[in-house]
Structure 1
Amino acid sequence: MNEEGRGPSAEPLLALIGEHRESIRAALDDEQHALLLTRLRALAAAPPDEIMAVRRALQGVRLALRPLPFDHPVRAALDGVRLVAAPPGPATVTEALTLVDLLAAASTAPQPDPAPDRTPGTTPGTTPGTTPAPTSSDPTPAEERAPDPLLREPALSTAEATARCGGAPPPELIRLPDPPRGDRYLEFQFPVGGGTPHPVVLTVNRLLLADIDPRGAASWWLGGNSWLGAAPASLLGRLPDHELVGAATTLVEGE
C-alpha cells in the first residue's frame, strides 16, 4: 500500500508484465499485442517529470491489457493497481523502456518447420497439375470482404461531423478509418436531431484515449456494461453524466 493508502503504484504491474510476457503474447492477437507495444513506447517516451503525461500513458497500457483472459495473472492484477495512487516516478518510464524490448522479443514467434519435400507447385495430398480442394479453414471471398462490425454502426462523414461541430471535429471524438467512404464519426456521440457532440462523450473519450485507440473506446460505448446494466451509448441522456464518467473512470483506474 502506498503512502496515500489507495493501492500499489504502477511499477509492480509493469514488473508483472515483464514476468509474464510470453503468456501475454500467446493470449493477445497480433493487433492487440502491437497496441500494447505502442502504449508501452508512449510510456517510455513520456517525460518522467510530467506526471499527468505519465499517468495518461499508464492508462493506455492498462486499457491495452484488458483483452487478456480474466484468469491471467496480469489481467487479475489490473483492478488492484490504482494509477492515480502515488505519483509515478522515473522508475516507471525506465521500466516501460525495458518492457518494450522484452515484449518485442516475445513477439518474434518461431516459424513452422518447412513442409516435406514435394514436387514444386503441389501441396500434400494432391497430384501435379491439380488444384487442391479448399478446406474449412480457408477464408471464403465473402469472409474476406466481411465488413468491420463497428463500421456498420450509424456514423457521420467528416463533412457531416465538421458541420455538426461548427469546425474541425475535436480529437476526442471516435473516428474510425473507412478507406472506401472516408473517416466515420460514430453518430451516438451527437444528440439526436442535431447539435454539437455530447460534452460527456468528450469527457469519457478522453479517459478512454479515443484519440489513439478509437476502436477500444467505441467498444466500451457500444458493448454491454455490467456496472451500468446496458451499453453506455444507449444511456446518453437517460443516465446522469457523472455515472457514465464514473463507469469509465472505474475501468481506467481500477477503483
Structure 2
Amino acid sequence: MTTDDLLELLRWHLPEIRASLSPEQFARFQGSVHRLRAAGDDTRAVRGALREVRLALRSLPRENELRRKLDQFRSGGAAPPAVLPDTDRLAELIRLLESVDWPTLAPASAAIARAVRQRLLTAPARGPEQLTGAAAADPAGAGLIRLSDPERGDRYPDFQFDPDTGEPRPVVQRINRMLLSDQDPWGAADWWLGGNTWLRAAPAALVGQVPDTRLTEAAAALLGGGGW
C-alpha cells in the first residue's frame, strides 16, 4: 500500500473515523495529517508523519475495516516514490478535514454521512475510462460529479450522461455548477439521487422527462432556502 492508497482510505472513511474517535482523538488525527502536509518532500519527515497518523488511529476498534488495512500499511521500507504523497490527494483530504467542524460533529451524524456515501455509490456509474471527448480530458471542467470509491476508484454517476451520445447533459452540468459539485460532490450527488419533495421524485430520474427549467428551478429553490 502506498501513501496515496492510505490517503484515499482516510478520505473515504472520514465519517467512520469521527464516529469511532472522541473529539480529542480526532483532533490528534487532524494534527497528524497537517504534519504530513508540512513535511513536504522530506522523505524522513513524511515517514514520521505517517507513523503519527497510524498512531492517532490506534483507538479504532480492532474489527474496524480501516484499522485492519492500517495494520497492513508500513512505510518504513517503502521506496521514496511510494512514500511521498500526491499533493492533490493530500490537499483534498485536508480540504475535507477543514470543511466540517469534525471534532464537534456527533458520532451519529458521522455514521449517517458514511451510510449516505455508501448508498450513493450503489447508483449506476461509469469509470474515467468510459468518459469521452472534453469530459475525458477534464471531468472537473466539464462540471461532472466525481465520487471516490475506495475499491473501484473514481466514479461518475450515469444520470449525468446522455444515453445515446455519452456526452454530459447540459442541464446536469449547469445544476452541478450551481450546487458547487467540485467542492461537495457527495452533497450534489445526494441532491440528484435522493427524494425531492418539490419535484416528488429524485431529480436524476426526471432528467429528460421534465423541462430542464423545472430541474434548474428546483436547484435554485434549494440554494435560496425556499420552496421546500
Q: TM-score, normalised by structure 1?
A: 0.42
- Structure ranking higher in helix proportion: 2
